[in-house]
Structure 1
Amino acid sequence: MQLLTAFASVAALAAAGTCQSITKVSGFNSGPTSLGMYVYVPKTLTKPAPIVVAIHHCQGSAQGYSTETKYMPLADSHGFILIYPNSRSSGGCFDVSSTATLTHNGGGDSQTIANMVTYAVANYGGDANRTFVTGTSSGAMMTNVMVGAYPNVFKAGSVYSGVPDGCFYVSGSTATQDPPGWSNSCANGQTTKTAQAWGDLTRSYYPSYTGARPRMQIWHGTADNTLHYPNYAETMKQWSNVLAVDLSKTTSNSPQSGYTQIIYGNGTTATASLVGYSAAGVGHTVPVHETMDLAFFGIA
């Protein structure tokens, strides 16, 4: 699904030259699925420390995503813990198609990732009240799922070229099948719903939850031919309904030429409940904007 762009390759080379590396957590065995847990814990850490979960794309890995992205040097600068889940599937994709994963404490990949956060809080001094999630492609889809099924765990999410929460559901798909279920209709941008219907779908995955919902930042390229561009509008509809906010501001060429920024509700790009970025001419996937993620998370 994910082909590395020249940008990502350069980022990988830059990060590789720093001697920074992630560590596999051999003590994590909280399942329920067999995802690997990798962490990066800076030497200087003020506890309790923020936690950022960074989820890789298909044909990727925790190790690969840690070098493609530039979160590790930022973790050193700002003192936060990084968790990199590692897919168990042969193609490197996460399951976002089964009822188990889509549902709060349903026994799928999402519950395993939520358990990684619990582990980091208990063993590394992580702050359960400052936990965030981000990801690219399959990781972006999982980011939407994590925020939808575990709004009690995460305070905000940043999504790079994904699809709405629940869009990839495949009837009969299981949390342990390899490869995970695939929805052509959703991938091709043919699955559309009203904002209310999308919001109801997200709420159905944790129906007893009545607390605050995580803030969301959504990125998508207009030339995406893997998870097609209509998924951007559908995702924005979903979270605007869940967060009960309306479009308030549109800004062209922000944060860079060709990007259109939209803000829903009150606040700035760093404080609003919902912010979207449409990247003209950008394919799959939008390059990660790490410093903007941290600003949105309130870490930087």
Structure 2
Amino acid sequence: MRSISDTIARLRKLSPSTLQAAGRSNNLTSVDDCGTNPGALRAMLHVPPGLSPQAPLVVVLHGCTQTAATYDNGSGWSELAERFGFAVLFPEQQRANNPNLCFNWFSPDDVRRGSGEVESIREMIVDTVKRHELNPARVFVTGLSAGGAMASAMLACHPELFAGGAIIAGLPFGSARGVTEALERMRGRGHDRASLGERVRAASPHCGPWPAVSVWHGNSDATVDAVNAAMIVDQWRELHGVDEPDTTERVAGNVHRIWRDAAGRAVIEEYLVAGMGHGTPLATHGDEACGSPGAHMLDAGISSTYRIAAAWGIVPAVAPPRPVKAFVAAPASPVRQDVAATINDSLRAAGLIKP
């Protein structure tokens, strides 16, 4: 008869990835052949079944140490897509490009139009829109931290692709060239404020309207200083030709400012989240709630995912009551079956359950 210690030792041999897969679903599907992919990124996609033609597309860029699946699980973007009818594309960084899985927002070759990671993401967007008959006029991009800085790069290098963007705990475009400068800018040091708008204008031949931009940052962020949020706002104020905010209010205890253009369109908004550190702000209760708290996915009592989507007009401005789902036991996945079988075999061998 095996001892209980032998049983525990056997269970510990189950890999962490196996246990995680047993406890978490993954809505994303890998997509191949999106183009030349010079940045060597991976494309992950969620298209809800029966999605209507000309539906919107949201491009989501994860932060350092994260994958597409972990960021989706935390932020709830595919959950929201299922509920309100849009597609979600997750470009995913690979360790061969960056050992910490950061998008290389500080590498000149990766944030230049037609080159590197920016070009890979553009190819993924164009392919996804065409393949799934999505609306090219309703494409949006968002990202956290390094993903937020890469969202800044996408908006600068390809403004013609996007109706709007959202930058969470990110940095302004063109703020660093190399790792040393990147670390300094993250601390809020050494920024050149003189040419913020000009850097974006020089990044593409664009001469049309600029995308609307939403900026989110925790005022207690010790990883990317909140001065970067102010500089992103300044960068896009210059491009949109707006000065003072038209609206300043408190939303769930957080400062929310809105800038409108001459036509009254909200072109920039900023949320400064009170007491929040480095991460994506989530709400775990209420009708806006989606996603799950975790590393850099922070329960702040306000859902950035829902409110960003609402600012883009792809979900209702006021969240409707969340549907109550009837519980239906799903068939066990092969991974869950393997885990359960291992546990049962071990307990049976230890004499803790009957044969």
Under TM normalisation by the shorter chain, which class is it?
Answer: 0.7 to 0.9
Which residue among 272, 296, 300 is the counterpart of 2:311? 296
Q: Is the 8 A contact 2:141 2:151 kept in 1?
A: yes
Query: In 2 relative to 1, CA 221–267 (structure 1 residues): closer, same or farther, beyond 3 Å?
Result: farther
SS in 2 for 1:82: strand
For residue 98 of structure 1, report the CA deviation from its aligned partner: 2.1
Q: Is the 8 A contact 2:219 2:272 kept in 1?
A: yes
Per the normalisation by structure 1, the TM-score is: 0.84
SS in 1 for 2:246: strand
CA distance in structure 2 between the aligned counterparts of 1:161 and 1:48, rounded to whole angstroms:
31
Q: Which amino acid aligns with 2:72?
A: S
For residue 253 of structure 1, report the CA deviation from its aligned partner: 2.4
Q: Is the 8 A contact 2:175 2:192 kept in 1?
A: no
In the other structure, the counterpart of 1:204 is 202
Q: Which amino acid aligns with 2:281?
A: P
Q: Is the 8 A contact 1:95 1:181 kept in 2?
A: no
Percent identical across equivalent pairs? 26
SS in 2 for 1:263: strand
Query: In 2 relative to 1, CA 268–23 (structure 1 residues): closer, same or farther, beyond 3 Å?
Result: farther
Query: In 2 relative to 1, CA 266–212 (structure 1 residues): closer, same or farther, beyond 3 Å?
Result: closer
For residue 268 of structure 1, report the CA deviation from its aligned partner: 12
Which residue among 134, 141, 145 is the counterpart of 1:133? 141
- CA-atom RMSD, angstroms? 2.2
SS in 1 for 2:171: coil
For residue 275 of structure 1, report the CA deviation from its aligned partner: 0.4
Q: Which amino acid aligns with 2:37?
A: G
1:238 aligns with 2:235: yes
What is the 5 A alignment of 1:210-229? Answer: 210-229=207-226
CA distance in structure 2 between the aligned counterparts of 1:81 and 1:143, rounded to whole angstroms:
18
SS in 2 for 1:118: helix
- For each residue in 1:71-125, what CA deviation from the matched residue of structure 2 results, as whole angstroms up to 9, or x when unmatched? 11211122111001110222110011122222221x1111111111011012112
Per the normalisation by structure 2, the TM-score is: 0.72
Which residue among 70, 93, 106 is the counterpart of 2:102? 93
Q: Which amino acid aligns with 1:210?
A: C
For residue 26 of structure 1, report the CA deviation from its aligned partner: 2.5
Q: Is the 8 A contact 1:246 1:265 kept in 2?
A: no
Gaps of 5+ in 1: 1-12, 171-179
SS in 1 for 2:192: coil
In the other structure, the counterpart of 1:76 is 82
CA distance in structure 2 between the aligned counterparts of 1:202 and 1:181, rounded to whole angstroms:
22
Q: Which amino acid aligns with 1:234?
A: M
In the other structure, the counterpart of 1:38 is 44
SS in 2 for 1:251: strand
Q: How many residues align?
A: 270
Q: Is the 8 A contact 2:164 2:213 kept in 1?
A: yes
Q: Which amino acid aligns with 2:200?
A: T
SS in 2 for 1:282: coil
Gaps of 5+ in 2: 1-19, 283-303, 316-355
In the other structure, the counterpart of 1:187 is 186
1:283 aligns with 2:277: yes
For residue 290 of structure 1, report the CA deviation from its aligned partner: 1.3
SS in 2 for 1:217: strand
